[in-house]
Amino acid sequence: MKILKKIIYTLVVLIGAISLGFIIWGSTPAHPMPEAISALKSSDAVTVQTGKWLVFEPAGSTPATLGYIFYPGGRVDYRAYAPLAEAMAEEGFLVVIPRMPLNLAVFGIDKAADVMAAYPEINHWVMGGHSLGGSMAANYVYEHPDQIDGLVFLASYPADSNNLSTYAGSVLSISGSLDGLATPVKIAHSIGLLPTNTEWVNIVGGNHAQFGWYGPQKGDNAAVISREEQQTAVIQDTLEFLKKVDQ
Amino acid sequence: MKILKKIIYTLVVLIGAISLGFIIWGSTPAHPMPEAISALKSSDAVTVQTGKWLVFEPAGSTPATLGYIFYPGGRVDYRAYAPLAEAMAEEGFLVVIPRMPLNLAVFGIDKAADVMAAYPEINHWVMGGHSLGGSMAANYVYEHPDQIDGLVFLASYPADSNNLSTYAGSVLSISGSLDGLATPVKIAHSIGLLPTNTEWVNIVGGNHAQFGWYGPQKGDNAAVISREEQQTAVIQDTLEFLKKVDQ
């Protein structure tokens, strides 16, 4: 009995330590760069709300008819995508970036449901995400294909168990040719998991971390183009896509 | 003296053997697939001449105002690019593919000059090429930038010694995300060698060999998309580019 007690005690301590380590790991995300923090300020064109969600709302008199829900990459502070969101809102779209538990979208897959419930006036919903965030957005779309009209992957792809090849909505996949994490091989593999009319954009010279504003990332390659250039390409392609879905 | 004679004799035999081997190597290119041979037949829309050059001329009453000179990849039979040429000619462009000595464009860099001399009525000249062919086309443009209005790279890039970043013409670079020879790293490196307004297209799931019709290639990766899909993308992007240059 003494030995059993010891084993149980050791297991409890081990599980506790691992959990604590995991929480600390998840609670220390990559920090947003100053450019991302600047994009959180409301302007004449965009009203920004911060909190459990970042909400970027066009400030003009014409209300948005399309909402874009964006899931952040794993262990990346959700504010790191504020410049992308601001650019979409400037063009008339509502953009919402939910904060994820432990900065891991895998623990907040269903956040989109709360967002959609809060904005019943929106006609079209598009989900998107970077890296792990894109995969989790794909998981939501896989479970609720009729709720979402479009899906945007930034350096991301669905899990093999979330085959979306029969999804009737629109899909855009944007990747970087020098991405060391969502590599060209992994992106190409996702061709079989997505509809045949998916739009594929590969940014030559772009990498994984420059899809956001949080600095470099372990396992990634150095980019040959600047973060500004990569972001400009992402914004342009995403905006074209959103406009088509909004028609 | 006997030893010197022996050394010279050995050297001559060695050089002879190496040269013979090289000639045999160059004379055994990758063969065109049946689809390429079919594209060599004249149709209602396109007149095809074969010989030292493959010439694809629009058969309609409107004469072409733009000519596209295309250099084949190294050790690839020049007919392997006939389907691409046919598609361009169908849209009103003159396309000429010169046969290269030993199927190596490095020995026929100046063929473009002969082609241009033969068609003085053409207003705009664009050069392009696949792999080694693209690099040699770039070399011609580097030496004669004022003669050529545009440059198209298929899975290719200029040599470091042919920096074209100040070239005033238009440039289009099309690559494949799974190319095992002109890899994403090599393509991204060429960003620094080409003008800032270069158009970059990366075909997700495409490889090196599917830019032509000559079967698989050593050192390449398997593609995830079909040859037809890759060719359709190349044709569409090249046509858009040629139309812009022809304006």
Q: Which residues contact B102 (CB under 8 A, 6 or more apart)?
A: B22, B23, B26, B27
- d(Cα B131, Cα B71) in Å, to the nearest integer? 9
Question: Can you give the pLDDT at residue A51?
Answer: 92
B152-182 confidence digits (pLDDT tens): 999 999 999 999 999 999 999 999 999 999 9
Q: What is the mean pLDDT of residues B188-207?
A: 98
Task: Count the neighbouring beta carbons within 10 Å of the beta carbon of residue A235.
Answer: 17
Mean pLDDT of chain A: 95
Six-digit token pair at A115? 């967002």
Query: Among B214, B63, B241, which residue's Cα sits nearest to residue B149?
Result: B241
A31-75 confidence digits (pLDDT tens): 999 999 999 999 999 999 999 999 999 998 889 999 999 999 999
pLDDT at residue B17 greater than cutoff 70: yes
Map residue A121 onto helix, strand or coil: coil
Query: Among A123, A84, A134, which residue's Cα sits nearest to residue A239?
Result: A84
B40-99 confidence digits (pLDDT tens): 999 999 999 999 999 999 998 889 999 999 999 999 999 999 999 999 999 999 999 999
Distances in Å between the Cα of A221 and the Cα atoms of A103, A115, B188, B200, B211 are 23, 34, 12, 19, 27
Q: What is the mean pLDDT of residues B11-23?
A: 78
Query: Among B166, B100, B183, B102, which residue's Cα sits nearest to residue B137?
Result: B100
* A202 chain-B contacts, CB cut-off 8 A: 177, 202-204
Is-contact B183 B157, C-beta < 8 A?
no
Residue A9 banded pLDDT, cuts 50, 70, 90: confident
pTM here is: 0.89
Q: What is the mean pLDDT of residues B6-16?
A: 82
Min distance A110 CA to chain B CA atoms (Å): 30
pLDDT at residue B26 greater than cutoff 80: no
* B192 chain-A contacts, CB cut-off 8 A: 224
pLDDT at residue A8 greater than cutoff 90: no
Is-contact B157 B173, C-beta < 8 A?
yes
Question: Can you give the pLDDT at residue A7?
Answer: 83
Interchain pair A204, B191: CB under 8 A: yes
Q: What is the mean pLDDT of residues B93-120?
A: 97
* A237 chain-B contacts, CB cut-off 8 A: none
Amino acid at A58: P
Least CA distance to B189: which residue of chain A? A224
| Per-window interface: A 176-215 vs B, CB < 8 A | 177-178, 184-185, 187-189, 191-192, 200-205
pLDDT: which is higher, B13 or B47: B47
Question: Can you give the pLDDT at residue A1?
Answer: 65
Kindly report which listed range (A68-77, A114-123, B8-17, B83-92) carries the lowest average pLDDT score: B8-17
Q: Which residues contact B11 (CB under 8 A, 6 or more apart)?
A: none
pLDDT at residue A22 greater than cutoff 80: no
Interchain pair B202, A202: CB under 8 A: yes
Question: Can you give the pLDDT at residue B125?
Answer: 98
First CA to last CA distance, chain B = 70
Task: Decide: residue A119, CB within 10 A, 0-12 exposed, 13-18 middle, 19+ buried.
Answer: middle
Q: What is the mean pLDDT of residues A170-191?
A: 98
Question: Can you give the pLDDT at residue A240?
Answer: 98
Q: Which residues contact A24 (CB under 8 A, 6 or more apart)?
A: none
Question: Can you give the pLDDT at residue B15?
Answer: 82
pLDDT at residue A4 greater than cutoff 90: no
